[in-house]
Structure 1
């Protein structure tokens, strides 16, 4: 079985490490060029792992680049894993591996197709989420499901704690998928489009806290976009406060720094303060 793996984030690297823990091996690693998406949340570099395992590594601009397709053909790759990769694979790439391409998405598909799965799970107040392995087709997270792992969500879940749970779930799922590949027992279930939903991408500026928010809304936002994401922020008097953790009160606080909300007050606990330059 000849397998290639494309990733540029920690979730994908954890899956690669699990393959080798299971005494598997990869015939090709694919990642982004070093300077591309350097600030991407969870970005990792595969050079050390590739060198240690003597695995060919190519660095690319886009997953659909002709050099990727040519290398997959040259090595006669049967399966290509694409995990933790934001670019959409086109038909020519999908058709190149002899058996197809496998992805993982950090929701319980068909719920939550799209982007920003970790923040949205918290913002939407879900009681559970998960990770889904699926065969990639030309749609966005629409391919047939291979397997899933559920993740219960706590009421005070943060992006930091959930990202770790998602990472662990990827490893568990990778073991299940890899064993099924080895034993030739991989099966597929078509997604039920009648219950599908799509989550939009999020930008750093979506993390702004405003006085019109309730305490509940501000609390969810702070938890949803804390590290490894860019964090929530509040601007006042030429300063930007990047808030990683906060407390809330119905009564006006005695603290020196607090933010008035629609139904109470926000007191930053862990935050960074930075001057905002005019016309910046």
Structure 2
């Protein structure tokens, strides 16, 4: 008997997965998202009202994934698997254990490497040659559950967060398509993560995007590319103003350009930028 699936998300990565499930002929018994007023200004926040109406699927709007109404709804609809994608709140034991078989998440690194936060910026800032997306069964740890499948994303030397976010989105879709039938037919094979190979990446704040004059051109370049849209952007403090930089070029020498930022081994020349008051 095919399994009954629910899906929780409030970001585009999750909506793309839901759209792919219906595109390949799949079905969902329940959609879960944040209440409309929550995270309204969060980058990438989306709403599921339209797709819920299109497919006549119940939509539950919540404050927290661990709310009692989530538990009761999972029980009411006899959910076998719950997808939780792009959700910043950590699901606790009761939520993880309420679906018959558990919960499934995705993480935009090749786990066990890159557990934690800010996966897309860090992959660029660290200068990695490849990253990827991992579909895995959620447990009580952070990105520590058994792996269902992975997809590799090669990184070229000039890739931006904008480009990588789109590639991560495409890989989410690809993994859903690849493993959907195995999930609904209960044929997935779980692979334990090797904790000895695990690395953890910390969260990033908007203020972590500051460019300093003692940075090298390579460091500043990675930072600009790593935190450009949809992230808050890199910035340089110039007196009472902030230069918010979305893209830039870098040169060892530049005598004829007025708008430039001196670095330890050259110059940053803003291309796409905006000037803001520090106040």
Residue 273 of structure 1 deviates from its aligned partner by 1.0
**How far apart, in 1, do the equivalents of 2:112 and 2:119 lie?**
12
Residue 270 of structure 1 deviates from its aligned partner by 0.3
Alignment of 1:172 onto 2:174: yes
Q: Which of 158, 161, 164 is the matching residue for 1:159?
A: 161
Residue 257 of structure 1 deviates from its aligned partner by 1.1
DSSP 3-state at the match of 1:140: coil
User: Which segments of 5 or more consecutive residues in structure 2 lack a partner in the other structure?
Assistant: none
User: Which segments of 5 or more consecutive residues in structure 1 lack a partner in the other structure?
Assistant: none
**How far apart, in 2, do the equivalents of 1:126 and 1:219 lie?**
14
**How far apart, in 1, do the equivalents of 2:160 and 2:218 lie?**
14
Query: Which position in structure 2 is the counterpart of 1:251?
Result: 253
Mean Cα displacement is larger for which, 234-243 or 116-125?
234-243
- Correspondences of 1:111-122 after superposition (within 5 Å): 111-122=113-124
**How far apart, in 2, do the equivalents of 1:212 and 1:45 lie?**
43
**How far apart, in 1, do the equivalents of 2:16 and 2:231 lie?**
19
Contact 2:4 2:184 in 1 (8 A): no
Contact 1:120 1:224 in 2 (8 A): yes
Q: Which of 214, 224, 232 is the matching residue for 2:216?
A: 214
Q: Which of 229, 238, 241 is the matching residue for 1:239?
A: 241
Query: Which position in structure 1 is the counterpart of 2:105?
Result: 103
Aligned residue pairs total 277
Contact 1:253 1:265 in 2 (8 A): no
**How far apart, in 1, do the equivalents of 2:277 and 2:114 lie?**
37
**How far apart, in 1, do the equivalents of 2:57 and 2:132 lie?**
30
Give the structure-2-normalised TM-score: 0.97
Runs of 4+ off more than 3 Å: none
Alignment of 1:135 onto 2:161: no
Deviations 1:220-262 (A, max 9, x none): 0000000011100111121111100001111134222111111
**How far apart, in 2, do the equivalents of 1:202 and 1:13 lie?**
24
Residue 184 of structure 1 deviates from its aligned partner by 2.7
**How far apart, in 2, do the equivalents of 1:184 and 1:95 lie?**
17
Query: Which position in structure 1 is the counterpart of 2:82?
Result: 80
Deviations 1:70-127 (A, max 9, x none): 1111111111000111111100110100111000100000000000000000011111
Give the structure-1-normalised TM-score: 0.97
**How far apart, in 2, do the equivalents of 1:253 and 1:97 lie?**
64
